[in-house]
Structure 1
Amino acid sequence: MTSRQEQITLAAEAAARASDLAKETERAANHPDKRSLVQNLAAASTAWSDAAQAHAAIAALLPETEPTDG
């Protein structure tokens, strides 16, 4: 089982990947030779966004952990 902080980290990483892919989608849409990639890039961005939301939802359900002296 993962901790709340691990889920938050995974959510942030997935959100960053979604953002990067969204930017790449925009660049491809504005480049005549890369327009064929737009649909796949957009789908990948959406999938990463969905993953980020799922990790955030899981994190919200997990208890906060107290730091241990250890």
Structure 2
Amino acid sequence: MIRIDVDMDKCQHYGQCVFEAPEVFQLNADDKLEYVAEAPDEMLADLEAAADVCPMQAILITRA
């Protein structure tokens, strides 16, 4: 499993991560980021891409 952490103090809700891993990241009705905290190992490439495109570098992914 992969653990996903988003520093919500850094996150500005640009939503770039949503395009890379929509199964994990979503913008809610108020355009605020929501995400799931764990994902299967098969999603590693998408999650790394999401972390890379984050303009605020607010996403941390670790393997559990």
Q: TM-score, normalised by structure 1?
A: 0.31
- Rg bigger for which structure? 1
Greater share of residues in strand: 2
Greater share of residues in helix: 1
Q: TM-score, normalised by structure 2?
A: 0.33
